[in-house]
Amino acid sequence: MNREKQVSSIINYVDNNKNSIESKRICTMILGEKDREVNDELIKELHARLPRAKQDVLNSCYNIIE
């Protein structure tokens, strides 16, 4: 799967499942913020940072939602 599709899938998942364990795990991996509530502001940060993540981190995040 290409990188852009992975990023889009991850962001869509987090946006649609804000309170899930998986979304919190992804935000912790990408943003380093463990106990912060997943809200619109955090998703905007995720949107900005996720495309710059290393491919192995991106793959790990994608595997979480699959």
Q: Predicted confidence band at 5 (pLDDT cuts at 50, 70, 90)?
A: very high
Token output for 47:
């949107």
At 36 the pLDDT is 80
pTM: 0.90
- Residue 23 pLDDT exceeds 90: yes
Question: What are the pLDDT digits (tens) for 30-55?
Answer: 998 777 888 999 999 999 999 999 99
- Residue 19 pLDDT exceeds 80: yes
DSSP string, the chain: --HHHHHHHHHHHHHH-TTSHHHHHHHHHHH--SS----HHHHHHHHHHGGGS-HHHHHHHHHHH-
* Residue type for position 37: E
In the chain, the N- to C-terminal Cα span, in Å, equals: 12
Q: What average pLDDT score do residues 19-34 get? A: 91
